[in-house]
Amino acid sequence: MKARAANIILAVVVLLTVILGIFVLISPPSFFPDPSHGFQVMRSMQMGGPFNTFIAPNQDDISKNTSMYLTWWSPGQYLVPLFFQSILGLNTGHATALTVLLFDLSGVLGFYSFFKKIGFTPLVAVLSVLFIICQQAFVLPFAFYNGGEVLLFGFEGWFLYGCSAIEKPGIKMLLFVLLSGWLGFLFKSSFVWIYAAGLLCMWLRMSSIAAKLNMQKLVKNALWIGAPALAALVCIYVFFLSKGNNPAAAASGFSINWENFTFPIGSPLLSGFSVDDLAHGLLFHPVGSLLSPVTALVVLGLSAIVSLALIAAVMRYVPKNNYRLFLIVFYTIAVLFFSMAFMRQSSISYEGRHFRIIGLLIVPGVLYLFGRFKMVFKAALVVVCVAIAVINYAFFVKCYKFNKNISAHGNSGMAQEYIDQPSLNYIMQLDKENHNAVFAFIGSDLGLEIKHNRVIALDVPPSATSVNYDDYGYDGHAGPLYILLPAGYNATLDTMFTKFFPGYKNFTSKRLSKDYVLFEAK
């Protein structure tokens, strides 16, 4: 009976994922901020540029180009959609939508298989997956493509399955370690710490006999696992990371504060139960804070305490040795890695999405624990899960309607939320009529709609009254220049953006719609 119930629930989960995928194939998503930069690299490659190289007008002389090998983000975020675009003839929007569908579906099946492999019953495994798809992290890519986040979700369940399934050294293990390192990093560069934690779990699991470590096996397995892992990491560094900067390497000093430790420690609750997402970001909130700073710190402290209690309870009461091994290793490494990164002030934001793997791993343990409790506690957990699901799917519906009915749609097929349709139509017509022009936008999303001319993504200074134009300016002259700005800007801001281009004079403005204005200089 329980096996049949598990199969029915799994079928419902798969069906729901496919339905979401069909919706997003009908109306492709918008961009999460980071992947739009990767898609600019894809655009450069499609226009004849080298692999993974961003090409844009040079700030010292706008008539020339500058190129930069992009190492800040992993290339999979645009290479996977580009693959589907190339073999199926899809536009960028539909190729991206297909990527979201396939990788979210892969993640569901991967984690279901992994949870069963480490000892949970099919019912607990499928209920865990059901809980996972209630999270905002699962539904977000169907509205805003978040690149490496959804790619990593689709891959890491199968990676963990491999780490728990391989029983002895050999060619199969060697290839798994080598190829999973390359593939995981291709999808998202932060996979490196997950890679290390997963291989450590595999090493400890394979080196134990009757729950006791065997020193001979420790050394032997260390060589079998360490050699291909080292080869994978050396290749990643030599052929990719050494060519530029990355968030972990870009540190800006050393600072110790409360958040350095409580955020990683609280990750099981912050990520696993969408606490950070539902609060619109406790510490990092680009769309506005829901809680006051003091309240956010209190919630953060409570999340850390409850998370530690959950980890301790799981380690004590869940009799699944392999599961406890994976949970404690991943949690410990995450706390150490991110606490150090935060103290070094690396360019890693305080967001629950960075700890998603911890939130995923804690779920079956929590469900197993609540399965031992009285019915009233089980009902309380169900109420919490339903509430999280209602909030997050309401968020998806709202965002989907916005993408479909309000956002503009152009050459790429992606939903463009920072422009309206009349303005985008005018911009695309200008692009068709010119082949030596420069288009300047605030942000990198709209550059994907330009097919025949060069594009500049303008940075917005923190203040219009104290701008260092050497940092933001573009010298020289190169054909017509078009700058699209929101109509709500005041004259001071409009003038600031036109002064970014000292080689151009006598700007004229054209109101494209009630919300957008185009500044032009020829």
pLDDT of residue 280: 79
Please indicate, yes or no, whether residues 309 and 359 belong to a single structural domain of this protein.
Answer: yes
pTM of the entire structure?
A: 0.90
pLDDT in tens, 415-436: 999 899 999 999 999 999 998 8
For residue 214, is pLDDT > 70? no
Checking if the pLDDT of 212 tops 80, the result is: no
What is the rounded distance in angstroms from the CA atom of residue 441 to the CA atom of residue 450?
11
Predicted pLDDT at 438: 93
Asked if residue 361 and residue 467 are part of one domain, the reply reads: no
pLDDT at 481: 93
Same domain, 393 and 355: no
Distance of CA 49 to the CA centre of its chain: 25
**What band does 348 get if pLDDT is binned at 50, 70 and 90?**
confident
Phi, psi of 55 (to 5 degrees): -115, 130
**Mean pLDDT calculated for residue range 343-347:** 81
Least Cα distance to 452 among 440, 439, 468, 470 occurs for: 439
pLDDT band at residue 252 under the 50/70/90 scheme: low
Gap between the Cα atoms of 377 and 503, Å rounded: 69
In a domain, 94, yes or no: yes
- Looking at the structure, do residues 397 and 439 belong to the same domain, yes or no? no
Residue 68 has pLDDT above 80, yes or no: yes
Signed CA dihedral, 362, 364, 368, 374: sign only: positive
Q: Please tell me the distance from the alpha carbon of residue 10 to that of residue 16, in angstroms, as a whole number.
A: 10
Considering only CA atoms, which of 274, 42, 322, 34 is closest in space to residue 167? 322
Least confident of 37-51, 147-161, 419-433: 37-51
Mean pLDDT to the nearest integer, 472-497:
86
Residue 176 lies in a domain: no
Q: Is residue 25 part of a domain?
A: yes
Question: Can you tell me the distance from the alpha carbon of 276 to that of 280, in angstroms, rounded to the nearest whole number?
Answer: 6
Structural domain contains residue 173: no
pLDDT given at position 402? 93
pLDDT at 414: 94
- Asked whether the beta carbons of 456 and 439 are under 8 A apart, the reply is yes
Regarding whether 423 and 402 lie in a shared domain, the answer is no
Which pLDDT value is given to residue 330? 96
User: Do 330 and 394 share a domain, yes or no?
Assistant: no
Q: Is the pLDDT of residue 211 over 60?
A: no
**Predicted pLDDT of residue 198:** 96
Using the predicted structure, report yes or no on whether residue 97 has a pLDDT greater than 90: yes
* Claim to verify: residue 289 and residue 429 sit in the same structural domain: no
**DSSP secondary structure letters along 416-436:** ETTS-HHHHHHHHHHHHH-SS
Q: Is residue 125 part of a domain?
A: yes
Question: What CA–CA distance (Å, rounded) separates 407 from 403?
Answer: 5
Q: How many domains does the chain have?
A: 3
The residues, ordered by sequence, that sit 6+ positions from 362 with a Cβ below 8 Å of its Cβ are 268, 272, 310, 311, 314, 327
Q: Do 400 and 486 reside in the same domain of the chain? A: no
Domain with 53 in it = 1-146+386-406
Question: What's the pLDDT band for 249 if we cut at 50, 70, 90?
Answer: low
Mean pLDDT score of the chain: 89
20 & 66 share domain: yes
What's the rounded mean pLDDT across residues 210-223? 74
Task: Give the count of beta carbons closer than 10 Å to the beta carbon of residue 520.
Answer: 16
pLDDT of residue 85: 93
pLDDT of residue 424: 95
User: Same structural domain for residues 310 and 393?
Assistant: no
Q: What is the reported pLDDT for 150?
A: 94
- The answer to the question of residue 377 being in a domain is no
Per-residue model confidence (pLDDT) at position 342: 86
**What percentage of the chain reaches a pLDDT higher than 90?**
53
Is the same domain home to 490 and 393?
A: no
Compute φ and ψ for 30, nearest 5 degrees.
-95, -170
Domain contains 208: no
**Does 352 reside within a domain?**
yes
Per-residue pLDDT band for 92 (boundaries 50, 70, 90) equals very high
Which of 204-218, 305-319, 401-415 bottoms out in mean pLDDT, i.e. has the lowest?
204-218
Shared domain for 452 and 493, answered yes or no, is yes
